[in-house]
Amino acid sequence: MRLRHTVHLRLTAATLAALLLAAAVPLSSIAQQSIGALSNQLDSTRASAQSLSASISGLNAVIARLDGQISLVQSREATVSSELAADRTVLAGVQASLVREKRWLGVLRGRLARARLVLSRQLVSSYEGDKPDLVRVVLDANGFTDLLEKIDFLHRAEQQQQSIITLTRVAKSEADTAALRLAKLQDKDRRITQATAVQAAALAGMNALLQSKQAAVGQARAAQQTALAAARARGAELQGAISRLQAQAAAQAAAQAAAAQRAAAQFTPPAALGPSGGWAIPYAIVLCESGGQNLPPNSAGASGYYQIIPSTWSGFGGTGPAAYLAGKAEQDAVASRIWNGGAGASNWVCAGIVGIH
């Protein structure tokens, strides 16, 4: 009997603690509601952060493509710069050749002018003077030696005249050739300059456009990175607030459980309703079912000291609509008939809980 009494006290303490914890639920529900609201905000913030991360990844891909395009353009610019340097070297050579050709053209034109002047004078002299006659030269010769000298003079004069004519023709031909070569050099100079300038301008424009686009995308990425950092910071704040509320709720629950345990330890059943209080069924079942109290109907309709449902109450001779409305003596009598010396123990769920079958 001493051992059974100890079991009864422990069961009573557990029942009381459960009742106290159930009564404390409304206090913790406020914290739970706050945690739920913060959790919703945290989920929204994390979703926003994920969206920003995906957007930043897309911008990174765009910037990577732009970097590739800029590298390609810069590589092309380097090639064109190299070609431009080579063109400038060629152009410098062309310009040097152009200067030489201009000088040589001046020399040739000077020669041509002098040759034309000599030829003109020869023609005028030949036109104004009589043409030498071989018979007259022979007759006017003062001896054979003088005749040979005059014939040689006439021959050299004729050769000189032919030489002047040939020189004039060559000078004119060379001057014409030099002028044509000079025109070609000038045309080449112009084409190199124009082609290089057009290509350089096109590449510079393309590079400027890509740089501008890259700067715009970079600014957008920086803005989204700032927003992402803010979202992550907000998420950390929300997580911290949730952790603090959870810690507070856990501390409150622990305090309530401790209070319930202390109250249960201090609980003493009323003497009139204790183990020797004249119950119709074992006291352990009574404590489990009602705690020794005449309770109103629960959700299943069970009521009274023995938690009897209306159909069982009326079936075993109880008066009135419910057990709790009758006195204890009548409830004892009905419970005794239901118990039937232990054969009806299965009518109480608590019988199995406390180990009575």
Q: Are residues 96 and 193 in the same domain?
A: yes
More confident residue, 20 or 356: 356
Task: State whether 145 and 290 are in the same domain.
Answer: no
Mean pLDDT for the stretch of residues 330-354: 96
Characterise 317 by phi-psi region: left (phi > 0), alpha (psi -120 to 50), beta (else).
left
Query: Mean pLDDT over residues 112-136, rounded?
Result: 69
Determine the average pLDDT of the residues in 203-223: 90
- Whether residue 174 is contained in a domain is answered as yes
Regarding whether 86 and 166 lie in a shared domain, the answer is yes
124 and 227 in a common domain: yes
Is 169 inside any structural domain? yes
Residues 117 and 199 in one domain: yes
Are both 281 and 189 inside the same structural domain? no
User: Which 3 state secondary structure label does DSSP give 303?
Assistant: strand
Among 249, 282, 301, the domain-final residue is: 249
CA R_g for the chain? 64
Q: Which one, of 300, 356, 328, 350, lies nearest residue 336 by Cα? A: 328
**What CATH code is carried by the domain that includes residue 238?**
1.10.287.2610
Predicted pLDDT of residue 355: 92
- Asked whether the whole model's pTM tops 0.85, one would answer no
Is 134 domain-assigned? yes
- The angle that helices 144-266 and 2-128 make with each other, rounded to 10 degrees, is 170
- What spatial distance separates the first Cα and last Cα of the chain, rounded to whole Å? 18
Q: What's the CATH number where 354 sits? A: 1.10.530.10
* Domain hosting residue 105, numbered range: 39-249
Q: Are 217 and 282 part of one and the same domain?
A: no
Domain check: are 60 and 200 in the same one?
Answer: yes
Within-domain flag for 275: yes
Per-residue confidence band for 236, with pLDDT thresholds at 50, 70 and 90? very high
pLDDT for 256-307, tens place per residue? 667 645 644 443 443 334 444 689 999 999 999 999 999 999 999 999 999 9
Q: Check whether residue 111 and residue 218 sit in a common domain.
A: yes
Q: What's the mean pLDDT when you consider all of the chain?
A: 80
- What would the mean pLDDT of 58-64 be, rounded to a whole number? 91
In a domain, 139, yes or no: yes
Q: Is 12 inside any structural domain? A: no
Number of independent structural domains in the chain: 2
Q: Residue 29: inside a domain, yes or no?
A: no
CB 347 within 8 A of CB 312: yes
Regarding whether 206 and 155 lie in a shared domain, the answer is yes
- Kindly state whether residue 98 falls inside one of the protein's structural domains: yes
Mean pLDDT, to the nearest integer, of 185-212? 83
Phi/psi at 305 (5° precision): -65, -30
* Residue 220 and residue 278 share a domain: no
237 lies in the same domain as 321 = no
Shortest CA distance to 192 belongs to which of 49, 321, 330, 95? 95
Question: What pLDDT band is residue 140 in, cutting at 50, 70 and 90?
Answer: confident
Out of 221, 249, 277, a domain closes at 249
Cβ(138)–Cβ(147) below 8 Å: yes
Virtual CA dihedral for 280, 284, 287, 290, nearest 10 degrees?
A: -50
- Domain boundary among the residues 220, 249, 278 is at 249
* Helix and strand element counts for the chain (H, E): 7, 0
Query: How crowded is residue 267: how many other Cβ atoms within 10 Å of its Cβ?
Result: 14
Q: What is the pLDDT of residues 295-340, one digit of tens each?
A: 999 999 999 999 999 999 999 999 999 999 999 999 999 999 999 9
